[in-house]
Structure 1
Amino acid sequence: MLPSFFIVGERKCGTSSLYRYLVAHPQILPCKVKEPNFFSKPWWKIVWGFKKYQSLFPALNQEGSIEFQWPELDENGRLFTETISVERQAHMPYITGEASVNTFYYANPRLVKWLLPDVKIILMLREPAERTFSHYRMLERFKKEGRKTISLQDFSTDMKIEMEKVRRGEESMVLSPSIYAKKLPVWLNLFGKDRLFIIRSEDLEDQKKAESIMKRLFQFLEVADFEMGDMLSQRFNVAPPKSIPEDIQQELVEFFDPYNKQLEDLLGVKLY
């Protein structure tokens, strides 16, 4: 099977929870790994490795249980991996998809469109300052665990440096992915609004809004309606809560204001 849907981003926006909600649907099968990060590779690796990528998804004639590896955080923010099993029943139409959430910012959407012309795109967004802070905390954890060799000072200092980089027209590691209006036009132009489903992560935190979103999302994916029940109250891959430092919070909000206005102009609706 090829993926029918693709959660392309953004990081630290609740995509893990959304993916678990989706694969709880009896017609939606998981990829073997949540984030293959395939389309963020160099183009030649994508072209030559596409068959291997396809092997990560269930076969059309596969029956029985399907297992996938799930990265999760414990209550202390430490990463562990568990194996989740999903049952596939006979005589039922299925779709599958994945959630490599660095795709929105780093991948070439033209390659996605070329190799997966019929795929539907799901994009989760979060208030930009909050997303930025959460992304930075993730990098701090990666550094502490030895998963990344990265130079970090403290959030306020590093964000002031990154804001100056962006003002000079340069890319920044943590701030730039929160400027959604920069990357979105290409995705919109290639896939169109009818194949792009945008979700505010804040809306999934409200039970009634979450139920409405999932109902519309199942319609978007062309699968049967499904009652999620208490599943929507669960959160996955969530770090312990922490507030943005007060000395930088307002400056970040003001920094993102013009970019949020660009996003509003692009979509015709105010998100942030």
Structure 2
Amino acid sequence: MAAPNFLLIGAAKSGTTSIYKYLQQHPQIFLPPKPEQRFFLMEGKHGPFTRPGNINAGRQIVTNWPAYQAVFQGVTSETAIGEGSNDYLWGPGAAGRIYEYLPTIKLIAILRHPVERAYSEYWMRRRDRGFESLTFTKAIQAEMSELEQPWQLWSRYYLRGGFYYRHLTPFLNLFERDQLKIYLFDDLKQQPLAIIKDMYRFLGVEPDFQPNLAVWQNRGGQPQPERLYWLLSEWQRRMPSTGSIRHPFMLMERLKRRCLINPPSIPPALREMMLAHYRVETLNLQLVLQRDLSHWLS
């Protein structure tokens, strides 16, 4: 049975869904139809893994090695075989389990301004009815009381999700540096084709393949009106996303996008508090990446 030779490990709301779709287009790359198998976090655990507002969430989670290998049974002639689970970046023990099973694997991470990433994830959760009901300020305050608690599936990880240096440290300690490619979301937005081609080279596939970059996946925003967005989402979940009757699914997707508006700005005092929490993390990350991240400090 096949096993992956690369993983897309996060971070959530940093372009990983788009990257997944772009990599999927390459004929030499195999990725499962849907991401988030989460095996290296959920091994040995027992479901169901549904979450508030979305009964379909967590259905692709696998918890044992034979089931994980079965995810890749569709591999034919592809040479780069992978999967993507954003929680691998910050989930406890994930780096160690990955190393135990796949010590020579290649890893890809994409990082975004931590405050902007947190706010984007907040609105993603608000778009799932019942998943997040607090204001952003109150949600951060609630998370602040849980900072020392370990990661749990579906737990709030807005603030903690941006502690990139501490999340990357286990990977840097276990894997050779040339096994881990770290990209920035800003670079992906400004020069997506160059980033994708660099990933192709990293994965050892034909770098001149031209993917369709026309659609940015999983676009964020504030649902308005919120109840209509939830209703459209519920209808869409009941529709097949592939096959000959895919058209209604895509129509619902377009209607949902029309319900999204730009969210309000983060309250200045809250933004400053979050930046203060990230300051040391960002300075340490600069040293790892050898990149100027001063724009992440404001």
Fold shared by both chains (TM-score > 0.5): yes
1:98-133 deviation digits (Å, cap 9, x = unpaired): 111111111521111111222210011110000111
Q: Work out the CA distance in 1 between the residues paired with 2:18 and 2:276.
A: 29
Is the contact made by 1:33 and 1:56 (CA closer than 8 Å) also made in structure 2? no
Which one has more relative contact order, counting CA pairs under 8 Å at least 6 apart?
1
Q: CA deviation at 1:18?
A: 0.3
Q: 2:266 aligns with which of 201, 220, 245?
A: 245
Partner of 1:41: 42
One-letter amino acid matched to 1:201: F
Question: What is the Cα deviation at residue 213 of structure 1?
Answer: 1.6
Task: Give TM-score, length-normalised by structure 1.
Answer: 0.76
Report 1:78-227 matches (<5 A). Answer: 92-108=77-93, 109-142=95-128, 144=129, 146=130, 148=131, 152-163=133-144, 166=147, 169=148, 173-206=157-190, 209-227=191-209
Q: Do 1:181 and 1:260's aligned partners in 2 also have CA atoms closer than 8 Å? A: yes
Other-structure match for 1:5 = 6
Deviates more, 1:244-253 or 1:193-202: 244-253
Q: 1-side partners of 2:220 and 2:271: how far apart? A: 19
Aligned mates of 1:93, 1:156 — CA distance in 2: 46
Q: SS of the counterpart of 1:118?
A: coil
Contact 1:17 1:237 in 2 (8 A): yes
| Per-residue CA distance 1:46-69 (angstroms, 9 max, x = gap) | 997101111111345x4xxxxxxx
AA aligned to 1:179 is F
Residue of structure 1 in register with 2:286 after alignment: 264
Q: What displacement does 1:264 show? A: 1.5
The CA deviation at 1:184 is 0.7
Q: 2:68 aligns with which of 53, 59, 83?
A: 53
Amino acid of the residue matched to residue 184 of structure 1?
L
Q: Identity rate of aligned residues, in percent? A: 28
List runs of 5+ in structure 1 lacking aligned partners: 63-91
Judging changes above 3 Å, is the alpha-carbon distance between structure 1 residues 264 and 164 closer, same or farther for their aligned structure 2 residues?
A: farther
Tell me how far 1:15 sits from its aligned partner.
0.3
Range 242-251 or range 26-35, more displaced: 242-251
- Which residue number corresponds to residue 21 of structure 2? 20
Taking the aligned partners of 1:165 and 1:51, their CA distance within structure 2 comes to 35
Unaligned runs of 5+ in 2: 47-60, 151-155, 222-261
Shift in Å at residue 163 of structure 1?
Answer: 4.3
Q: CA deviation at 1:216?
A: 1.6
Shift of 1:164: 6.2
Please give the per-residue CA displacement for 1:132-161, whole angstroms capped at 9, x wherever unaligned.
Answer: 11111222223x2x4x4x6x4311233245
Partner of 1:74: none
State the AA in 1 paired with 2:18: S
Name which of structure 1's ranges 172-181 and 250-259 shifts more when overlaid on structure 2: 250-259
